[in-house]
Structure 1
Amino acid sequence: MSVLVTGGAGFIGSHVVRLLQQRGERVVVVDDLSNGRAERVGDAPLVQLDLAAERAPEVLRGAFAEHSVDAVVHFAARKQVGESVEQPARYWQQNVGGQANLLQAMQDAGVGRLVFSSSAATYGAPQVAVVREDGPAEPINPYGQTKLVGEWMNRAAGVAWGLRSANLRYFNVAGAGWPDLGDSVVMNLIPIVFTALDAGRAPVVFGDDYPTPDGSCVRDYVHVLDLAEAHLAALDHLAGDAAGEGHDVFNVGTGTGASVFEVLQVVREVTGIDVQPEVRARRAGDPPQLVADVSRIRDELGWTASKGLRDTVASAWEAWRAGR
């Protein structure tokens, strides 16, 4: 198999690239390097490209032909909830425009399999403790809206020209499969906490008055290596005869939630540092709780998470220290 990975020099993408390389697949990476690092992709060819650029379809068609690409894993996107609320037009232009260019190039080149990096943000603020894929998809911020539109676009391409797609709705991703592939971009809770500790500052908790057991947001934290393995399971599924007969949307999580305060307690245990947070007002666009029902991906793709919250925090801390 020859796989093109957009955003493959980033945090999650680099883990998928490495797993694909380890099992002997041919890999080519497309990344604009705004958040990614070229050294993360190993010996994979790297095409530096903004997918939303006008020239992107032509460049992608060339890469598909040069590397005889069979399938695509699409990560490249803007992904900050708060930033999306402040800059919605930028998110639509980058996430939706970039994906439109990718799908057009795939159609032109006859590349018919796609694993899409979607998000639990597509659910919005669900009124249930555990979220199923067949529940309402009502995103409450522009980031989640662009991911839901991305799923619609993939489905439309399936009807129009036969694209096979698996849309993976990630819950909160953290940890590191290898110390050199840690999350180097400080956008998610655990690296934000580590950055604050390095600077001798109190980490900030946005909101302690949510309708959750301790008042802080509850999320399902999935280890990045587990998540990367889910992408390989999805690629293998799309290559099989059963693809198209089942579902195209899959939650990827552990099925267990942890609050922000609970994560901070695990950080204390792992690091030995007495983490005392500063509590501020809620951020716009943050739902109180998001926890995955993971039965569909288990039953259809044969994937389950193998690592818990302590594994995730400990691996993230090891990678953080290795990068300092």
Structure 2
Amino acid sequence: MQLPAKGTPPPARDASGLATLLRTAGATDTVLAATGGWLLSERRSSPATQDGYIRDVSWWLWWIQARGMDLTDVSFIEADTYAAAMRHAGLAPGTRRRRLSACSSWYAYLQRADAAVRNPFHRMDLPKRASKPSRYLTEAQLDDLVMHAVAHQSARTAAIVAVLKATACRISELTGVQLAALGHAGDHWILTLTAKGGRPHRVVIDDDVTGPLLDAYLAERGSAPGPLFATRTGARLQRSYVQELLQRLASSAGIPDPHTLTPHAIRHSVATALLRAGEPLDVVQALLGHADPRTTQAYLHVDQLERSPAHRAGRRLAAVVARRLHSRTGTREPRPADIAQAT
């Protein structure tokens, strides 16, 4: 049995769709109630997090329904078969790991509610986490991105880019934040974001750049309740729209490889720039809203690139090239094409 092709919409996108899918799969009232409790628990209290878990679990429900199985009594062999089907369908390791982890969490909760015989995903071998490095920009490139938006784009675009740079917020925080989240604490203008797990995460809006750009945007937006960054119809922005916006902006600003730029890359870049500038780790951790400082330390990896022996080897090679050119033609600065001729 094969899974649908990549890009196929999930069988359920929200709680109502998941309930319908559960009933179709023969779920009892106990299973439905336990699933509701699972979604409302502390770790999944954020609506965006709930939607993600719903989508991931819905694929498993589609699978066992198509296989004609009892969702409360599935063997670990079937769970391994499902994992293999995802791998053969070409799903990324991160996607497979997320879906399997979601199912394991759900079954663990069903077991607590005496609504499932076992957790077929318990102690399963999960795909390894991807280790590819994240894209990041230099601080100068971040500044260029903001300046280009101010000079050539709408007030909303300029405010979006400025807030991303000033707060290093996650894309879910940016698209989900409401106008009512803007407020004051003493002399500071505060934006209260919703971090992972539904935790409130307060960040300061500076008075020099971000504040004035927000003012200019709000003068156009008006004071109607709703998302801070809204469409013309008042709906919240989509993640894909923000990413495409950043990539178009990076392209017009002359930033290399604009198609690889993501909202997370902006967050990564801000954290890296602050750490390299000497900001204390705990200060950057608080800005990013990380619960564990080890997560923040991951952004220090850029210094390893700066300290790479490749730079020192390159400088030694340049010195050799310069000496050979000097002995042949007199003193002049080496050009890239000279390297092949002199070595």
Shorter-normalised TM range: under 0.3
Taking structure 2 as the reference length, the TM-score comes to 0.21
Which structure features the higher share of strand residues? 1
Which structure features the higher share of helix residues? 2
More RCO (CA 8 Å, sep 6+): 1
Taking structure 1 as the reference length, the TM-score comes to 0.21
